[in-house]
Structures are given as structure tokens and as C-alpha cells.
Amino acid sequence: MMKGTLSDRMGAALLMAPLLLFLILAYAWPFLGVVKWSFTLPTAGLGQYHALLTDDLVQSVFIRTLRIAAIVTVVSVTAAYAITVVWVRGSPVQRVLAEFCILVPFWISVLTRAFGWVALLSNRGLINTWLQSIGFISEPLTLVRNEFGVIVGMSHFLIPFAVFPLASAMRSLDERVLLAARGLGSSRMRTFWTVFVPMTRSGIIGSALIVFVFSLGFFVTPAILGGGRSVMIAELIYLRIFQSPDWGLGAAISVVLVVFVGALMALLFRYVKPKQLV
């Protein structure tokens, strides 16, 4: 990233300057205001942070958010791994199909996708109707307005993002090492588990961190698919600010979330170079 002459770097900095300015004005500056609120509303001091540590509701939402993010991470990275193997190492036809599956979700808004899942998963949705009509179940399964629905919707959204770090790791893998394993007598299955997967470790870590970080801040998907029953941290902030005007606590939760995500991002960039993520 930081290679090149000084003038190259100056040029790159100048090109990025407008974006940086925009980000400062649109995000950093308002966020400083949020930080200020967290220490001043309703009274000055660390009261809101103390409340954070003692409020049962806030804590249960934090724990739920971490749990959902962890499950979504495992589901998304596993599914993305399978898709990426096909995308990077499949036959030409398989590659095109996989690429299609990876890119199409980017064209559909997160809102549309969430409602799509509601249509599929609700009590009278496609899946329940179908399962009942073939007599597999008698009562509809509760697939939505709970954590299950949230996990499905979020995983679906995040799988394409999990693909890129994995693809980058798989592409840079030396094909001869895999041949060597087979030449030494290892079956394809064994080679996959003992050589291929460990050699893509950096991709797995990068992929997992991206998905986890994204999961922490999800708002629309849990709000729609969770139906108010599995509130995640972003929704809680929304509720604190817009419904039970408790701006100080909302601000304090925001600050904790941003600091936590920032720490994870710092960890992420120790494992993956930014250009591997696209």
C-alpha cells in the first residue's frame, strides 16, 4: 500500500482528500457530538457509562448482539467458504454460476431482502406452506420474528462480503502444494482438510472479522426479521434516542460500540491487507 515515490503518495493523498473531508464532516464531527452527549446528558459525568454496566436490558442486548454476530459469522464464513472454493477452483461453468450468486445480492437493497425473507419464513410464508402441504409438519414453524430469522437474514446479507478475503487467500495458494499432498498419498478430502483449509487461514480470519464487525452494527435486518423480539444493539440505540428520549444512554452505547468495532478493525488489518477485501 505504502510503496511508491513521495509524489505518488502525495497524489494519492490529494485524490482521497475530498472523501476524507466528507467523512470528517458527515461522520467524525457528528460523532464527536455523540461522545459529548454520552458524558453530559442528562448530567455531566460518567453516569451513563455506569448505567451501561448495571442496566440488565442493555447487558442482555449486548450479549444477544455478540451471540448473534458469532453465529452469523460461523454460518456466513462456512457458506462463503464453500461458494469461494467453487468460484476459485471450479470448472468454468461453476465459476460463472458462483460469481452470479456472489454478485446478484449486491444489486438488491437490504430492505427488499429482509422482506423477501419474511415472505419466505413467516407462518403463512412459502416454507411453512410447503412443509405443511407435503405433510412434513402440522403446525407452522416459528422461523421469523425470532433470532433464527435474524440469523438467516443477516447471514444471507453478509455471505458475499465474506467471499472476497477467502478468494484472495485461495488464489494466492501454491497449486503444487496440493499436488504434493496428493502425490504423497493423501485423498482429496484429506488434502482439503489438512492442507487447503489451514493454508487459507489468513483468509478465514479476515473473512470472520469482517462479518463479525458488520454484524454488530446491523439495524434493518434484525428490526424487520426480529420483529421487536430479538433487539440488537443498533436497534437499542435507536429506541433510546427516538422513543424513550434517553440520549445520554443511547450515546454511551454508541461510543462503546464504535470503540469495540474500532479495536476489531485494528485487529483485522493486522491479518488482511485492505486490497484483499475487494
Q: Tell me which residues touch other proteins (CB under 8 A).
A: 174, 176-177, 179-188, 190, 194-195, 198-199, 201
Of 63 and 180, the one with the shorter C-beta distance to other proteins is 180
Cell matching residue 168: 484472495
* 3-state SS assignment for residue 137: coil
Looking from the CA of 13 toward its CB, the CA atoms found within 13 Å total 8
Of 139 and 175, the one with the shorter C-beta distance to other proteins is 175
Of 182 and 270, the one with the shorter C-beta distance to other proteins is 182
Residue 95 CB, nearest approach to other proteins (Å) = 19
Are 68 and 229 in contact, with CB atoms under 8 Å apart? no
Of 34 and 195, the one with the shorter C-beta distance to other proteins is 195
Residue 188 CB, nearest approach to other proteins (Å) = 8
Residue 251 CB, nearest approach to other proteins (Å) = 45
Of 9 and 182, the one with the shorter C-beta distance to other proteins is 182
In sign, the C-alpha dihedral spanning 22, 27, 33, 35 is: negative
Residue 190 CB, nearest approach to other proteins (Å) = 7
Cα dihedral 186→189→190→195 (10° resolution):
100
* Long-range CB contacts (within 8 A, 24+) of 42-47: 42/248, 47/248
Residue 210 CB, nearest approach to other proteins (Å) = 22
Residue 204 CB, nearest approach to other proteins (Å) = 12
Of 164 and 196, the one with the shorter C-beta distance to other proteins is 196
Looking from the CA of 269 toward its CB, the CA atoms found within 13 Å total 8
Contacts for 240 with CB less than 8 Å, ≥ 6 apart:
246, 247, 249, 250, 253
Are 254 and 237 in contact, with CB atoms under 8 Å apart? yes
